[in-house]
Structure 1
Amino acid sequence: MKLLYGTTAFIIYPLLVILVFLRKIFNKEDRNRYKEKIFPSSFNVKRTNNSKLIMFHAASIGELKSILPIIKELEKKYDNLEILVTTLTISSANLAKTELKKFKNATHRFLPLDVNFLMRKFLTNWKPDFIFLVDSEIWPNLIFLAKKRKIPLGIINARITKKTYKRWILFPKLARSIFGLFDLCIVSNQETKKFLENLNAKNIFYFGNLKFCENIESTQLFNNNNEFLKSNKFWLAASTHEGEDEFCLNTHIELQKKIKNVKTIIVPRHISRVDKIKKIGESLNLTCQILNPEDKILNDKEIIIINSIGKLQSFYKYSKSVFIGKSTIKKFEEVGGQNPIEAAKLGCKIYHGPFIYNFKDIYLLLAQQNVSKQVNNCRELVDNLILDLNSSKENNVDFISLINHLEQKILNDSMKQIKLFINENK
């Protein structure tokens, strides 16, 4: 199976090159750097003599954010250290360009396709001393080649869903040969720990989800409607999916019977849906505004629909209560939930539906601290929102303290194992 994977990857390499070029045409690849993924001549290697290189591979934005505190701690601990961060997406590359400037010697590159000759050349040129994969990033050729070169290999904040696990056990010999090569596994939830044990992994540790450790500077969050948000009663429906629009809009209808002039702000997961949400709202006789990036919220509108990306934190900053979507629709039973950590770190009381499989460990922790709560219908959500909106957000300050304490413990415990791993493999 290992040979079949390697051979197949090599055979389809020309097709993958064409695919990358097509993605560039449709602006799904970085127009200046896309060749880093497909040609060794574009790897653009920059190394310092006599330094140790730690490589992290994080697919996209969420994974990248989760390792920034780890990089910060490593720089404090070790001198003469270089960090190479590889990702796959344009958005993660843009974030890396900003965030990695904060470190002394950290570089970003796109990871090449998992084709044997590309990965071999990549490892030969960069010569990493340690490799950490992040979350669910499992690339067999990279893993096999790293171990062949005796490069210590870890996976941090590992996450394997039930669906992914079922796929892996279709090829048990390949799966066990891959996961048995990791020297350190720090997992993001208990379910992944169980799955990795079944897949022959070793040195498995669970301390919590490293996404709790993302640094959010609330003082740096700007919203050009901050005065409106500070002076009006509103609740936030975040990361909503198709099928949840009516739930949020009906919640508003019931809520406004109890609280005069209340506003509902909807931040859909996919902004291509804003016109559809507005149409549904208007069919329910609600006044709606699609809020573009530089727009001001109009006082005479009841429903504000956000038509921009990357603004969610700046709304969390002023929100007392937030409903987080992808959690009320039955078809999402095994893939449901959106990440509630940012909302929790910014002091929001969080509500969600019953389908939160992807983040059930996180929601369990938040529920234990009375930060989050499941609601099963509009009536339950309305009853809770009434209590929240008639109190001050200052009442939520304990949430932030609890989350910060949890964050520090997760980071400290994780770093203890990572430092031990590095020191034992110097």
Structure 2
Amino acid sequence: MSLLFTLIVYNLLLPLGILILLPGAVRKMKARGGRWEDMAGRFGRLPLEKKAAIAALPCGRDRIWMHAVSVGEAGIAMKLITRLLKEAPRTGVVLTTTTPTAHAMAEEFAVRQSGRVVVLYSPVDLPFVSEFFLDLIRPSQMILIEAEVWPNLVYSARRQGIQVSMVNARLSSKSERRFQQLGFLMCPVFGMLDQVHVQEPADVTRFATIGVPTANIHHTGSIKFDPQGAEADPAQVERLRAVMHQSGITAAHRPILFASTHNAEEALLAKVIQNLAAKHKDLALLIVPRHVERADSIVTELQSLGLDPVLRSQIHSSFVIRSSSLPTLLVDTTGELRAWQCLASIVIVGKSFLTTGGQNPAEAVMAKKPVLFGPHMENFEPLVDLLLKHQGALQVPDTTALESALDRLLSTPAQAQRLGESGHTALRAHEAATIKTLTLLGRHSQAGL
């Protein structure tokens, strides 16, 4: 089926899809701190200061457009940008994100880049909007993080001679089947990509089946799992150590971190730690929910269990340290998870007990922490298989098994240490993925090799 037919069908259905999805998008935007101006920006109504910041970026080959959807993809983009700006200091990057949380995280990152990174919300994929953004940004290259391809945007970029690449791409077997069912529509879209850099060898075949020419697919490993450059900011770690101490969690405690938890998981997992605290009296709780707007409801749930959680946002220089049998710190701020993982004794991965999909355990593993997760890690099957094969993480079927596993690790610190080190060793398969990616994109200086 031709690309023209795909675009006609897509553009006939897209306005209807926007109308159906818009109310939900607006509710989600408001719940996560978005503004009406942000929604207008997706249609091209940008503030003058944003347009001026883009105009101030280097022109020609030195200007890149990078697109990341949510927090996970934004983290990958920031890691890639950090290395890119080190390799090529004259480069300027426009980074677009889809979610308000990712946008806030990216804006904070951009502040530290001395005007070399401009952050925008991703455009709505209408033809005239895509053309407007491309004419405004004028990138030499477009880099898509992971697996989101917008047909009008990619088509417009290709028509203007802009190279379009997808990096850190992954495709689950479930997604592959879904794309194959729509192959007559999807294959022409994926066929427009100049390069696709995949995380796992199996992804090479999967992307080839949905229309990407095999010659354009390269196995680089995962940027997110690449140990090089993945270390947390030491200054941030020390700042958060002080915050943790103010919340009542001292150096004498062993903090258990719930990372990227979803609805109702906090209370479920907190009960497990409460049970263990009767035996291991030095435990403390660090909770970093996936969506910080849930903080008030989480506090209520934890209080119903008899806990006295402290909100990260309420801690300041005059905050009075609380004393509790199980000190609990609820992190209701963004962009700090990597540093909190460095301060934890054990990390439990969220979205793996009460819902499906799981969250990414890679950063905790790279910090050499013992990592545990529940039965539902479908979105990270290759990584989970790699970690379990090397005994670098523990997967448990339910909270009863989780409690037993935690008890063993807390009772035998040497076993916990081996678990963390084994996981870190397993991720060496992805070492140098960032450099491989930049090299294929033509953005890595030979002097840096």
Q: Which bracket does the TM-score occupy, shorter chain normalised? A: 0.7 to 0.9
Distance 2:22 2:297 in 1: 32
Query: Is the contact between residue 184 and residue 421 of structure 1 (CA under 8 Å) also seen in structure 2?
Result: no
2:98 matched residue in structure 1? 88
CA distance in 1, matches of 2:263, 2:29: 29
Which structure has more relative contact order (CA 8 Å, sep 6+)? It is: 2
Q: How big is the shift at 1:247?
A: 4.9
- Residue 392 of structure 2 contacts residue 421 of structure 2 at CA under 8 Å; is this kept in 1? no
Q: Give me the whole-angstrom Cα distance separating, in 1, the residues matched to 2:64 and 2:40.
A: 23
Q: Deviation of residue 182 (structure 1)?
A: 0.8
For residues 219 and 28 of structure 1, the distance between their equivalents in structure 2, rounded to whole angstroms, comes to 27
Alignment correspondent of 2:224: 211
Kindly tell me: are residues 368 and 216 of structure 1, through their superposed partners in 2, closer, same or farther at Cα, counting changes over 3 Å? farther
In the alignment, residue 37 of structure 1 is paired with which amino acid? Answer: R
The equivalent of 2:135 in structure 1 is 124
Match status 1:184 vs 2:195: yes
The 2-side partners of 1:71 and 1:39 are apart by: 24
Residue 239 of structure 1, CA deviation: 3.0
Superposed displacement of residue 304, structure 1: 2.7
Partners of 1:267 and 1:27 lie apart in 2 by: 16
Match of 1:155 in 2: 166
Unaligned runs of 5+ in 2: 1-5
CA distance in 2: counterparts of 1:23 and 1:419, whole angstroms: 38
CA distance in 2, matches of 1:297, 1:389: 26
Q: Give the Cα–Cα distance (whole angstroms) in 1 for the partners of residues 407 and 18 of structure 2.
A: 57
Distance 1:249 1:206, change over 3 A: same
The share of aligned pairs that are identical, in percent, is 20
Identify the residue that residue 141 of structure 1 maps to in structure 2: 152
Q: Which residue does the alignment assign to 1:345?
A: 366
Offset at residue 394 of structure 1 (A): 7.4
1:59 aligns with 2:75: no
Report the Cα distance in structure 1 between the residues aligned to 2:262 and 2:104, rounded to whole angstroms.
26
1:358 positional shift: 0.8
Deviation at 1:59, TM superposition (A): 1.6
Letter in 2 for 1:316: Q
Who is 1:288 aligned against?
Answer: 307
Q: Deviations over 1:158-201 (max 9, x none)?
A: 23344443443332122110111111101234554332111121
Q: Give the match for residue 284 of structure 1.
A: none
Counterpart of 2:346 in structure 1 is 321
CA distance in 2, matches of 1:76, 1:218: 19
Q: Distance in 1 between matches of 2:189 and 2:220?
A: 23
**Structure 2 vs 1, CA of residues 15 and 344 (structure 1 numbering), >3 Å: closer, same or farther?**
closer
What displacement does 1:316 show? 2.3
Per-residue deviation, 1:337: 1.1
Cα deviation, 1:298-329, whole Å, max 9, x if unaligned, reads 43333736262335445423222122122234
Equivalent position amino acid for 2:410 in 1: L
In the TM superposition, residue 32 of structure 1 has moved relative to its aligned partner by 4.7
- Give yes or no for contact 2:204–2:219 (8 Å, CA) kept in 1: yes
The yes-or-no answer on 1:367 pairing with 2:383 is no
Q: Provide the secondary structure at the position in 2 that maps to 1:228.
A: coil
Amino acid of the structure 1 residue aligned with 2:310: L
Task: Quote the offset at 1:103 in angstroms.
Answer: 3.7
Corresponding position: 1:235 with 2:245: no
1:301 to 325, 328, 333: 325
Q: Could you say if the C-alpha distance between residues 85 and 252 of structure 1 is closer, same or farther in structure 2, counting changes exceeding 3 Å?
A: closer
Q: Separation in 2 of the partners of 1:235 and 1:153? A: 42
8 Å CA contact retained: 1:132, 1:155? yes
Aligned pair in 2 of structure 1 residues 292, 152: CA closer, same or farther (>3 Å)? same
- Residues 263 and 85 (structure 1 numbering): CA distance in 2 closer, same or farther, change over 3 Å? closer
Which deviates more, 292-301 or 390-399? 390-399
The answer on whether the counterparts of 1:274 and 1:307 sit within 8 Å (CA) in structure 2 is: no
Deviations 1:339-373 (A, max 9, x none): 11222233320011222111222223333454311
3-state DSSP of counterpart to 1:301: coil
Q: Secondary structure at the match of 1:86?
A: strand
Structure 2 counterpart of 1:363, which letter? V
- 1:225 aligned to which of 221, 234, 244: 244
Native 8 Å contact 1:291 1:297 kept in 2: no
Count residues in correspondence: 414
Equivalent position amino acid for 1:274 in 2: I
Q: Find the aligned partners of 1:100 and 1:415 in 2 and give their Cα distance.
A: 20
Instruction: Report whether the alignment pairs 1:175 with 2:200.
Output: no
Q: Which amino acid aligns with 1:89?
A: T
Change (3 A) 1:219 1:401: farther
How far off its partner does 1:396 sit? 7.6
Measured in 2, the distance between the counterparts of 1:413 and 1:362 equals: 19
Alpha-carbon RMSD across the aligned residues, in angstroms, is 3.7
Residue of structure 2 in register with 1:165 after alignment: 176
Distance 1:8 1:261 in 2: 57
Per the alignment, residue 3 of structure 2 pairs with: none
Which 10-residue stretch deviates more, 154-163 or 391-400? 391-400
Question: Could you say if the C-alpha distance between residues 369 and 301 of structure 1 is closer, same or farther in structure 2, counting changes exceeding 3 Å?
Answer: same
Asked whether 1:416 is paired with 2:421, we answer no
Cα separation, 2, equivalents of 1:421 and 1:397: 32
Tell me whether 1:9 sits opposite 2:19 in the alignment: no
TM-score by length of structure 1 reads 0.81
